[in-house]
Amino acid sequence: MLLIHCPYCDETLPESEFAYAGEAHINRPADPSALSDEEWRDYLFIRTNARGPHYERWRHIHGCGRFFNAVRDTVSDRFLMTYEAGEARPDLTVKEAAE
Amino acid sequence: MTHFSAMSLLRNALTGHKNWREQWPDSQPKAEYDVVIVGAGGHGLGAAYYLAKEHGITNVAVIDKGWLGGGNTGRNTTIIRSNYLYDESARLYDHALDLWENLSQELNYNVMYSKRGVMMLAHNVHDVQSFQRHVHSNRLNGVDNRWLTKEEAKAFCPPLNISPDARYPVMGAALQMRAGTARHDAVAWGYARAAAARGVDIIQNCPVIAIRRGPDGSVQGVDTAKGFIKAKKVAVSAAGNTSVVMDSAGVRMPLESFPLQALVSEPVKPIFPCVVMSNTVHAYISQSDKGELVIGSGTDQYTSYSQRGGLPLIEHTVAAICEVFPIFNRMRMLRKWGGIVDVTPDRSAILGKTPVEGLYVNCGWGTGGFKATPGAAHTLAWTVAKDEPHPINAPFTLERFTTGRLIDEAAAAAVAH
Amino acid sequence: MSRYRIPGMGRVDPAATVSFTFDGRTYQGLRGDTVASALLANGVHLMGRSFKYHRPRGVVTAGSEEPNALIGTSRGKGRFEPNTRATVQELRAGLTTESQNKWPRLSFDIGAVNDRAYMLFSAGFYYKTFMWPRSFWDKVYEPFIRAAAGLGKSPTEVDPDSYAHRNLHTDVLVVGGGPAGISAALTAAKSGARVVLVDENPEMGGSLLSDPSVRIDGRGSWAWLAEQLSQLRAVGVRLMTRTTAIGYYHQNFVGLVERVTDHLDQPPHGAPRERMWHVRAEQVVLAQGALEKPLVFDGNDRPGVMLAGAAQTYLNRYGVKVGDNAAVVTSHDSAYYAAFDLVDAGARVAAIADTRDSVRPDLLDAARKRGIQVLTGHTATATEGRLRVKSVRVNPVRNGQVGAGRKIACDVLLISGGWTPSLHLFSHTKGSLTWDADSRTFLPNHKTEACQIAGAGRGLWGYGPVLEDGVKAGMAAAQALGRSAEGSDARVEGDRPGTGSSQKELPTDRSPGKAKAFVDYQNDVTAKDIRLAVREGMRSIEHVKRYTTNGMATDQGKMSNINGLMIAADALGKEPPQVGLTTFRPPYTPTSFGAFAGYHKGATFEITRKTPIDPWAEARGAVFEPVSLWRRAWYFPQAGEDMHAAVARECRMTRASVGMFDASTLGKIEVAGPDAVEFMNRMYTNPWTKLAPGRCRYGLLLGEDGFIRDDGVIGRMSQDLFHVTTTTGGAARVMNMMEDYLQTEWPDLDVWLTSTTEQWATVALNGPNARKVLEKLVEGQDLSDEAFPHMSVAECTVAGLPARLFRISFTGELGFEVNVPARHGLQLWKAIHDAGQQYDICPYGTETMHVLRAEKGYIIVGQDTDGTVTPQDAGLDWAIGKAKKDFVGKRSLSRPDIVAPNRKQLVGLLTEDGTKLEEGAQIVLDPNQSLPMTMAGHVTSSYDSVALGRPIAMAVVTGGHGMMGKTVHIPMPNGTIRATVTSTNFYDPTGERLKA
Amino acid sequence: MTTQRHEFDPTPFLVEELPWAPRFSLRVRPEHRAALAGALSLELPSKVGQRSTAAGTEVLCLGPDEWTILAQDADALTTASSAAYAQIPHSLVEISDREITLRISGAQALTALTTGCPRDVEAMPVGTGARTLFDTATIVLWRDDRQSFRIDVWRSFLPHVHAILDQVLVELKSGL
Ligand SMILES: Cc1cc2nc3c(=O)[nH]c(=O)nc-3n(C[C@H](O)[C@H](O)[C@H](O)COP(=O)(O)OP(=O)(O)OC[C@H]3O[C@@H](n4cnc5c(N)ncnc54)[C@H](O)[C@@H]3O)c2cc1C
Ligand SMILES: NC(=O)c1ccc[n+]([C@@H]2O[C@H](COP(=O)([O-])OP(=O)(O)OC[C@H]3O[C@@H](n4cnc5c(N)ncnc54)[C@H](O)[C@@H]3O)[C@@H](O)[C@H]2O)c1
Ligand SMILES: Cc1cc2nc3c(=O)[nH]c(=O)nc-3n(C[C@H](O)[C@H](O)[C@H](O)COP(=O)(O)O)c2cc1C
Ligand SMILES: [Zn+2]
């Protein structure tokens, strides 16, 4: 059972209050009809499935209800950070340097 | 290769088992192969075996980052069945079943394929409709699968609780008699031994770091921890790690890797005669030939490469088992473990050619690819040898995610009212 | 007093006799005994049979790592469990136990013939044989192999006990209540931290209970222990005994299982048998101690051969002398102390054979003083004794040469191959290990979690160093929590330092190929099996494990892993760290299923949701069906009616007059805000802009892949407010999907979603007399067709209750749906029921609802569609807002395969001969094909229609929309049925009744 | 370890179902929170978990833009809401019937909650609240006192929560 920091509640809480919501920063195209079948497939189905730091979404579904983003290492399952939905993809190298 | 038989066993017993030979040698990579297969699971080893046996291509290396069979082949609940709904799937899995039937003899390795029957429980009207649909479709596809009343189900599997008061009462079941289990490790070892006997190199503890492509885009070989290995054809059969390997060839995949857990109980005398699956309650169970109850759990919600998994999920699984089989409440869990399964959007495999010349892929089996091992390996070998789809694997392309021609068994069983 | 009990020793209560049975014989033990200690006190060593060879076995250990002494235990009906370790099960009055894996009896077991043929049963033998003739596998070989497998027998009755769960958050969790754990807990607690200390034993103390010889802080060690425990209590440490840490998960989440009642004579009413604790700790201290290893030599498994530490435990903790005349074979100093304690308690120790050439002089002295002969540089090469060891053969080893052996008579043989730090939990976290070349053991290395490892668990030896280490770990934990901690060092007198060496199998002068030198006792894995595996190419330790099953028994390698590794490494010509260990996995010891399930059993296995009207249905004898988490009234049988008759009546009465239906389970979402209509436009396929307030519309929701996900009627309550309904099973999913788009794709929209599924109770009224019934109850709304036409919605009063009233129909009849606040749902239902009496109003269930809607061709998402059906496939193109530029799923509808001809399309089917089709039956165009047939679709819904006087069906058929009037075939096991393709709108196709 | 004693506890905790009371879900963008609070004469705490009480109306902040309101005067609230809507778009939805509230109090109330709540209830300050879980049911948990809690449970989930609490009660009464 993971331990997750909700950036909205500013609390670190057990995984059972949260729902995983897939890879983050895959924005819905503004005009889907302008996309080729391949581009639309990429949006629908192609996933990074990163081994290591993974940008992903969670929802604090049994809590504040907010969707938010996280970077989690998929090898250790450890969260590197969480941040609010809509925030830009953080640059991990900067974060590491700061630590 | 020493032929295995009761006689050879007896002969060796009399000489203190000193004369058994290696089942496969500890190969070191050569500079070049005709075909390199990434991943020494059942699928990869099987493909190598069929390449050698049926296509005469023996200059083949199977490369694994760890010990052979240490991926999902070595950690699955070994359920084998072919009563799938769609023609494409039924054909593929039934082809595998045909091969399972004689696999021990073919490989001269007892893989203990046990046709104990797989029974799938229906707990609500929707399940009944869905399973009936399977039964009918299977019948017309020539795949064995029949409907049991709940009393028949109980007679077939006495530990089953069919009380109408259960939270999820059993309303009937679909039974495939030809289905069952096999000894997971023996499948990997049997293929490894038989492939090695035909000249295939099995290279362990050698992670493939990248697939190298030439200026024209075609495959040139693989970079590994033991150096570059040249090959015009590379087949990736890396299960949970497929995305990472394919990414190195510049091919992005419609895959996500999740931790999937399983567990065994302490061993007991025979009590459970078949395999039972309940999708609604999320319980999968059989008894192994060593006596443990082998129980499958679900995937954790998040992607992971950690081969671990959480406790709550296991608690749910065990509760589900005890709901359906209340006599097991005082049994004890001996061990639980995790594997990494790669899941496609339609939960069917991707099997065959890729947009890259010389690159083939066999992945996306999710929680259910052990049963397909001989079938997938057999048809992949064909595709690699001939550079064209086998009629059976032809529908399982990558293109289907572009065109929308998905093979979605899970969606077909979708629960909604 | 039993023959082998020593008065005045042990922590058992000499005044409290407890009787129990073993294999039908009654024995006396004392309160505080385990089954094993009590049997040993009675001179019983033979307690079980091994897995493969059925060799007679006695206890090897005194703890949870026991591989041999597994018994069946029971306390009355439904309370039997197999494979219980006799070394752990505490005595309780009336305990019944039995031995396992033997026939006809423990002392004479037919299965032991396997032992004679043991050369045949070498590692992996079954992979090499049983293949011919092919058919024999299913019928002969496999059943034979299976019958031989397994240890105890499974329970066969339902367990009447209950099991509990608890969550616990703490600053520090200390696992292991030995000296290291105790001092860590006390140190951390004194810093003000919340501390939990757990130990799997019935009391804290760890090795102090087994070896109390030292004095600590000037007191006897047990007096010191008692004082420590009261201090721990005083500073508020939660002490949990009989509690095993079973698994160490992510971010210091540890699963504990507490055995609550198995030791009690009379468990109090309501007490759970076991309790699973989910602990989240800021800091974890692992003080699990170390496990002693056996030595591997021919005959090291006879009853009476046990670990030296175990013998010491039986003596000091239980006051039981395991024999009168012991011999010792060891490679570690600790066995000397065991021997000394035995001699001091009045037993004889014939000799200590030490594999090492040199031994600490003080040990030799102490042995000599006690009259014990010490043979250094010796190996053990054989034992004798069938059901109890009689002698051991020891031989000198000089320069690798094994000299002549001599027999030493004994009635117990104590062995010690050194100690392995218990790093199981640490390994669960994927913490890495490092090989310590001096002690030849693995020690913890890189940590992945916030934990400290202390005591024997990290290779320390002797109470002084271990106590000090515990203090350090406690301080480290406290400091990591930002607290300042002080440690006080304990003064230990008479400490027993110790070292030793790890061994492969002991050298022998006989043919090693013939030796039955056991590595894994329970699974009967011998040293030669491991060497055979390596010879056959199993170079990875994981292959060795799987090929030989070494370490796969119920002790999970606690006895066998390191010995197996030593032998495998030797066979491979490598150093042990190059070979490595297999993976430790949870649970630490085998754990009851019941403890995992906890409260989730029977009625509380999973939530059952019920509507406010459910009690009425239940009182009326309704039959229910589960739909997602809900239970819904399926039909309301009257006396003598079966389902078919009840549904036929409900259908008839509804169409003839009026029926009522509990629709409360439908999902409801309040979509509110200035951008509500824009949001609806983006989510649903339909256009919403022009829908006037007070009107409603059927809404269709797709996934982004273009396939139908959900549907429902949606009312526009006002300009900025929509009352959305969803399917029963889809409610939560739809809500989540909407929130997802709203929060992450369109956060700019001013709109909010509130689930109101349970705010409203919903009653549907259908039938030509629906208006007449309702009119009597409605205030504030004219129900005439002009004022309130089909697809209207209004707020008004119904039966005196504030209501949202919809005029909609899922039956094709004049229909209304009344929503009132849920607490009034039952009142509304009764009011309508009363008002409808005059029209013979008929309550109906989900089955009738399904029939009536099918007669109109209305789909059920999930039944007539699965996750592969598009709006066009379902004939719902009309629900797509053609002018809309975008909505969820729109882009996918133009993918090549979605626009391809010959997709499966939803149609009606009427059988030519009037038989009712089976749902799920497959459709073919050419009935004369051979198998496998090309299928063209399947029947999605099929019912006997009372209104039409014939069965009707819906089906998806390839190119079905273009096949109206054509014949298709449904091949069934007993003949093929012909059916005509029709529209799905079977009943009242022009919709007259709807508009009534 | 010689004697086998256990202490029985006749009343470990008490579960009461509280009477119906008007309850609303209020949603508004954070930037409009203060303005809306003024318009509705409410104190809307800005931090998730915080509560306010004024004139008998209780407010609990459940999310950055979500509050549960136990209204003293429901009509006044809805009227004020309608009046403010045009200026300050928001959503006020009545949910009085969606949840039923239980009060759980007594010496072992906290223990009872820890059987089903995964979060650290003990650490939750008195006077705060949170949406969380009890067993598999979503609940809103209010801590009113050290040993007194309220939980709001969706109506159809209540029997399950009750059934588990009943088992826990029996368990705690046994003293083990
Ligand atoms: C717990 C569990 C239960 C399951 N239950 C069932 C079941 O009951 N029935 C069923 O049919 N299926 C089941 N499955 C699924 C099944 O196990 C798999 O689909 C199947 O075994 C996959 O076989 P494989 O040979 O493709 O993969 P694997 O056996 O996983 O082999 C892939 C190999 O690739 C190697 N590899 C990966 N990356 C690299 C690299 N970069 N370089 C070199 N080598 C690499 C890995 O080390 C691994 O050995 C289950 C899976 C799990 C985890
Ligand atoms: N017989 C002997 O002479 C002997 C043997 C071993 C150790 N010692 C001495 O004992 C000391 C070791 O002290 P220590 O405190 O490190 O270890 P310990 O062995 O005294 O205590 C460890 C405790 O942890 C418990 N435990 C282990 N895993 C557990 C789990 N998963 N859940 C719950 N409980 C668990 C064990 O049952 C044991 O009670 C050393 O000083 C050593 O010299 C003496
Ligand atoms: C079908 C099956 C049966 C198993 N039976 C046992 C068993 O009896 N004892 C045991 O210790 N492990 C058993 N295992 C689990 C393995 O020990 C191991 O956990 C699993 O292969 C995963 O590897 P890992 O735990 O080393 O990562 C079994 C695994 C499978 C797939
Ligand atoms: Zn939150």
Any atom of ligand 1 within 6 Å of the Cβ of B262? yes
- How much is the pLDDT for B179? 97
What is the CATH number assigned to the segment(s) C1-158?
3.10.20.440
B211-234: pLDDT as tens digits: 999 999 999 999 999 999 999 999
- How much is the pLDDT for B416? 36
Of residues B57 and C130, which shows the higher confidence score? B57
Q: Cis peptide leading into C104, omega within 30 of 0?
A: yes
Its CATH architecture, for the domain C900-995, is: Beta Barrel (2.40)
From residue C441, alpha-carbon distances to B154, C286, C294, C431, C581 in Å are 51, 17, 14, 16, 11
For residues C663-682, average pLDDT:
98
For residues A51-55, average pLDDT:
97
Burial B178-206 (b: 16+ CB within 10 A, else e): bbbbbbbbbbbbbbbbbbbbbebbbbbeb
Is D39 in CB contact (< 8 Å) with chain C?
no
What's the domain count of chain A? 1
Instruction: Note whether B109 and B374 are within 8 A (CB).
Output: no
For residues C145-161, average pLDDT:
92
Its CATH architecture, for the domain C511-585, is: Orthogonal Bundle (1.10)
Q: Could you give the angle at the alpha carbon of C95 between the alpha carbons of C89 and C98, nearest 5°? A: 80
Residues of A in Cβ contact (< 8 Å) with D64? 8, 64, 66
Domain spanning C646-852: CATH 3.40.710.10: no
Looking at the structure, do residues D103 and D170 belong to the same domain, yes or no? yes
HEC letters along C477-518? HHHHCCCCCCCCCCCEECCCCCCECCCCCCCCCCCHHHCCEE
Mean pLDDT rounded to a whole number for chain C: 96
For residues C168-182, average pLDDT:
98
- Interchain CB distance below 8 Å, A47 and B244: no
C60-111: pLDDT as tens digits: 999 999 999 999 999 999 999 999 999 999 999 999 999 998 888 999 888 8
Any atom of ligand 3 within 6 Å of the Cβ of B72? no
Q: Is the per-residue pLDDT at C218 higher than 90?
A: yes
Instruction: Note whether B34 and B234 are within 8 A (CB).
Output: no
Residue D5 lies inside a defined structural domain of this protein: no
Nearest-angstrom CA–CA distance, D144 and D151: 11
Nearest-angstrom CA–CA distance, B63 and C482: 49
Nearest-angstrom CA–CA distance, C849 and C654: 10
* Partner A, chain C 869-898, Cβ-Cβ below 8 Å: 885-886, 890-892, 894-896
Residue A70 lies inside a defined structural domain of this protein: yes
Name residues whose C-beta falls within 8 Å of residue B100's C-beta, 6 or more positions apart in sequence: B80, B111, B113, B182, B371, B374
Local structure of residue B273 (DSSP, 8 states):
-
Q: Is the per-residue pLDDT at A99 higher than 60?
A: no
CA proximity to C435, closest of C451, C461, C459, C418: C459
Residue written as token pair 């054809």: B233
Which residue minimizes the CA distance to atom 2 of ligand 3? B77
Paired sense of beta strands C401-402 and C13-22, if any: unpaired
Q: What are phi and psi of C678, to 5 degrees?
A: -65, -45
At the top level of CATH, the class of C163-290+421-493 is alpha beta
Phi-psi region of C968 (alpha: psi -120 to 50; beta: other; left: phi over 0): beta
Look at B212-216, C129-133, C254-258, C401-405 and tell me which has the smallest mean pLDDT.
Answer: C129-133
For residues C833-844, average pLDDT:
98
- Interchain CB distance below 8 Å, A86 and C747: yes
Q: Where in chain C is the domain with CATH 3.50.50.60?
A: 163-290+421-493, 294-417
B180-205: pLDDT as tens digits: 999 999 999 999 999 999 999 999 99
Residue A84 lies inside a defined structural domain of this protein: yes
Q: How many percent of chain D have pLDDT more than 70?
A: 95
B20-77: pLDDT as tens digits: 999 999 999 999 999 999 999 999 999 999 999 999 999 999 999 999 999 999 999 9
Phi-psi region of C707 (alpha: psi -120 to 50; beta: other; left: phi over 0): beta
pLDDT-based confidence at D5, cuts 50/70/90? Answer: low
Kindly give the number of the ligand 2 atom that is closest to the alpha carbon of C419. 6
Looking at the structure, do residues D76 and D105 belong to the same domain, yes or no? no
Residue D3 lies inside a defined structural domain of this protein: no
Nearest-angstrom CA–CA distance, B277 and B300: 19
C784-808: pLDDT as tens digits: 999 999 999 999 999 999 999 999 9
Read off the CATH number of the domain in which A17 is found.
Answer: 3.30.2270.10
pTM above 0.80, yes or no: yes
* Partner C, chain B 381-410, Cβ-Cβ below 8 Å: 400, 402-406, 408, 410
Q: Where in chain C is the domain with CATH 1.10.10.1100?
A: 511-585
Kindly give the number of the ligand 2 atom that is closest to the alpha carbon of C454. 16
Looking at the structure, do residues D51 and D115 belong to the same domain, yes or no? no
- How much is the pLDDT for C1? 65
| Number of other residues whose CB lies within 10 A of the CB of residue C434 | 12
Record the tokens describing residue D63, joined without a space: 């999310």
Residue D1 lies inside a defined structural domain of this protein: no
Residue written as token pair 């009764």: C830
Nearest-angstrom CA–CA distance, C121 and C141: 14
Per-state percent for chain A, helix, strand, coil, to nearest 5: 20, 35, 45
Q: Cis peptide leading into C587, omega within 30 of 0?
A: yes
Q: Which of A14, A76, A85 sits opposite C280 (nearest CB)?
A: A14
Q: Which of D6, D89, D117 sits opposite C167 (nearest CB)?
A: D117
Q: Which domain holds residue A23?
A: 3-27+37-98
Phi-psi region of B337 (alpha: psi -120 to 50; beta: other; left: phi over 0): beta
Q: Is the per-residue pLDDT at C471 higher than 70?
A: yes
Domain spanning C294-417: CATH 3.50.50.60: yes
User: Per DSSP, what are the bridge partners of residue C86?
Assistant: none
Looking at the structure, do residues D32 and D73 belong to the same domain, yes or no? yes
DSSP codes of every residue in C261-277: STT-SSPPTT--SEEEE
- Interchain CB distance below 8 Å, C251 and A3: yes
Q: Tell me which of D71, D94, D117 is where a domain ends.
A: D94
Looking at the structure, do residues D151 and D103 belong to the same domain, yes or no? yes
Instruction: Note whether C977 and C969 are within 8 A (CB).
Output: yes
Q: Where in chain C is the domain with CATH 2.40.30.110?
A: 900-995
Q: Tell me which of D94, D119, D153 is where a domain ends.
A: D94
CA proximity to B157, closest of B138, B170, B168, B139: B170
Paired sense of beta strands C96-98 and C13-22, if any: parallel
For residues C930-942, average pLDDT:
96
Rounded to the nearest 10 degrees, how much is the dihedral formed by the CA atoms of C346, C347, C353, C358? -10
CA proximity to B188, closest of B42, B399, B31, B12: B42
Looking at the structure, do residues D67 and D103 belong to the same domain, yes or no? no
From residue B395, alpha-carbon distances to B92, B238, B342, B349, B407 in Å are 10, 20, 19, 10, 8
- How much is the pLDDT for C109? 87
Is C280 in CB contact (< 8 Å) with chain A?
yes
Ligand 1 pocket test, pick from B370, B378, B409 with the greatest ligand atom count within 8 Å of Cβ, gives B370
Nearest-angstrom CA–CA distance, C820 and C612: 11
Ligand 3 pocket test, pick from B79, B185, B264, B333 with the greatest ligand atom count within 8 Å of Cβ, gives B264
Does the interface predicted TM-score (ipTM) exceed 0.95?
yes
Residue of D nearest to A62 (CA): D132
Q: Which of A8, A14, A65 sits opposite D119 (nearest CB)?
A: A14
What's the domain count of chain D? 2
Residue B305 one-letter amino acid: Y
Q: Cis peptide leading into C82, omega within 30 of 0?
A: no
Residue A32 lies inside a defined structural domain of this protein: no
Q: What is the largest CA-CA distance in chain B?
A: 67
* Partner C, chain D 50-89, Cβ-Cβ below 8 Å: 65, 85, 89
C230-272: pLDDT as tens digits: 999 999 999 999 999 999 999 999 999 999 999 999 999 999 9
Any atom of ligand 1 within 6 Å of the Cβ of B44? yes
Any atom of ligand 1 within 6 Å of the Cβ of B84? no
Q: Is the per-residue pLDDT at C304 higher than 60?
A: yes
Mean pLDDT rounded to a whole number for chain B: 95
For residues C205-228, average pLDDT:
97
| Helix, coil or strand: residue A37 | helix
Local structure of residue C426 (DSSP, 8 states):
H
- Interchain CB distance below 8 Å, B241 and A1: no
Cβ-count burial of C884 within 10 angstroms (0-12 exposed, 13-18 middle, 19+ buried)? middle
Looking at the structure, do residues D121 and D102 belong to the same domain, yes or no? yes
Which ligand has the minimum distance to the alpha carbon of residue B289?
3
Please enumerate, as own/partner, the contacts of C534-537 that have beta carbons within 8 Å and a separation of 24 or more.
Answer: C534/C568, C534/C571, C534/C572, C535/B17, C535/B18, C535/B20, C535/B21, C535/B22, C535/C571, C536/B20, C536/B21, C536/B22, C536/B23, C536/C124, C537/B22, C537/B23, C537/B24, C537/B25, C537/B26
Residue of B nearest to A70 (CA): B302
Any atom of ligand 1 within 6 Å of the Cβ of B41? yes
- Interchain CB distance below 8 Å, A46 and B310: no
| Edge-to-edge strand ranges of the sheet holding C325-330 | C305-307, C412-416, C325-330, C348-354, C373-375
Helical axes C334-344 vs C308-318, angle rounded to 10° = 40
Q: Which domain holds residue D39?
A: 23-94
Residues of A with CB under 8 A from a CB of C: 1-3, 14, 19, 21, 27-28, 31-33, 35, 37, 40, 44, 57, 59, 61, 65-67, 76-78, 85-86
Which ligand has the minimum distance to the alpha carbon of residue B185?
3
